[in-house]
């Protein structure tokens, strides 16, 4: 079993662990991992820990600016109500291209996985079917992960990071918080979006095709996971399933996660964080990296390579297995 220091499950609760690293100049970097699904109090505790420290944070935005689906809806129902018409409105013009893309480029394994998903959701849950349909319509864009996570929050009676933390009215006003993440609008600022999509759906490069296949597999696998959670009747059993699977994948099978995840989701964003750390440690004595737990192993290795060593750590309870 590979040691993974940033997550701990004791059979009663799931914890994320903040590890503090320090270099010879006494500059400290706090690696504060966040689990995207947890108790509301969990996110309050994380914000209280950050306080006035300089904080590098993520808020990935991979939705085209002219599509309205990336709203901070307060529930899955609200999100589906907002997102589905937006998906239809934007992607309707690409229906034929999408069908040709799926027919021409989907591998046998991906087609088999699609078939399995369709079979599982055929007579199961309307919300899962809606999420799957939206994935199909929108080329399995990674933004579809958000409704999947909202579905899990609803199923587990927990909250979502983006809802529990006010990224619209609060965080932008905090001058110590530094956004360091991908932004679709910035990436495509000087690009014809329609031309880009048509090119990706007709003759994608091997690199683009590999990325798209990984996105499709990632989303299909997560949809199957939703079915498994829904089939588990008790909320406590669902929470136990989530906790154990998170620890299992991040400790024993993380290489599989890396191999099946598009590079920009993990490695690309890690590089952005590492560059930001190098800039900030020149002027600040304390920095917090407030990022998803899956990123922390790579960022830790980067810090060790820069001469940092572990000083201390603190645990934060993400959720209890037994629902109150």
The 10s digit of each residue's pLDDT in 260-269 is 899 999 999 9
Encode burial over 205-240: b for 16+ CB neighbours within 10 A, e otherwise: eeeeeebbbbbbbbbbebbbbbbebbebeebeebbb
In a domain, 242, yes or no: yes
State the pTM of this model.
0.92
Q: Which domain holds residue 13?
A: 7-292+307-320
Residue 74 belongs to a domain: yes
pLDDT at position 276, please?
Answer: 98
45 within domain boundaries: yes
Tokens of 160: 């979502």
Indicate the number of domains in the chain. 1
pLDDT of residue 72: 66
> Percent of the chain having pLDDT more than 90?
77
Run of H or E including 7: strand 7-9
Could you tell me the maximum CA-CA distance found in the chain, to the nearest angstrom? 61
1 lies in a domain? no
| Residue 2: inside a domain | no
Q: Is residue 127 part of a domain?
A: yes
Q: What pLDDT was estimated at residue 68?
A: 47
Q: Which residues of 139-166 are buried (b: 16+ CB within 10 A; e: fewer)?
A: bbbbbbbbbbbbbbbebbebbbbbbbbe
In a domain, 300, yes or no: no
Task: State how far Cα 153 lies from the chain centre.
Answer: 14
Q: How would residue 323 be classed by pLDDT, with cut points 50, 70 and 90?
A: confident
Q: Measure Cα distances from 196 to 152, 205, 217 in Å.
A: 32, 12, 22
Encoding tokens for residue 269? 């964003």
CA–CA gap between residue 21 and residue 323 (Å, rounded): 34
Tell me the pLDDT tens digit for each residue of 19-72: 999 999 999 999 999 999 999 999 999 999 999 999 999 987 766 555 444 456
């Amino acid at each position: 079993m590979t040691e993974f220091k940033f997550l701990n499950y004791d059979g009663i609760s799931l914890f994320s662990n903040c590890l503090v690293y320090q270099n010879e100049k006494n500059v400290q970097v706090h690696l504060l991992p966040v689990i995207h699904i947890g108790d509301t109090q969990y996110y309050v505790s994380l914000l209280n820990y950050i306080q006035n420290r300089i904080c590098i944070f993520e808020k990935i935005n991979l939705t085209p600016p002219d599509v309205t689906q990336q709203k901070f809806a307060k529930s899955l129902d609200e999100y589906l109500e907002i997102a589905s018409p937006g998906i239809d409105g934007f992607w309707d013009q690409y229906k034929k291209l999408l069908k040709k893309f799926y027919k021409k480029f989907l591998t046998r394994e991906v087609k088999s996985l699609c078939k399995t998903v369709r079979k599982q959701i055929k007579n199961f849950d309307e919300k899962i079917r809606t999420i799957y349909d939206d994935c199909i319509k929108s080329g399995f864009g990674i933004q579809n992960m958000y409704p999947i996570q909202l579905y899990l929050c609803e199923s587990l009676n927990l909250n979502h990071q983006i809802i529990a933390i006010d990224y619209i009215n609060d965080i932008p006003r905090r001058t110590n918080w530094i956004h360091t993440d991908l932004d679709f609008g910035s990436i495509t600022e000087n690009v014809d979006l329609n031309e880009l999509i048509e090119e990706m759906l007709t003759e994608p490069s091997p690199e683009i095709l590999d990325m798209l296949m990984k996105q499709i597999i990632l989303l299909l696998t997560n949809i199957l996971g939703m079915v498994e959670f829904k089939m588990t009747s008790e909320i406590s059993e669902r929470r136990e399933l989530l906790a154990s699977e998170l620890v299992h994948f991040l400790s024993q099978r993380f290489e599989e996660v890396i191999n099946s995840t598009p590079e920009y989701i993990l490695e690309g964003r890690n590089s952005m964080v590492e560059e930001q750390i190098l800039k900030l440690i020149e002027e600040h004595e304390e920095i917090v990296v407030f990022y998803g737990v899956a990123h922390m192993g790579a960022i830790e290795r980067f810090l060790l390579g820069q001469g940092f060593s572990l000083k201390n750590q603190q645990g934060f309870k993400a959720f209890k297995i037994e629902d109150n």
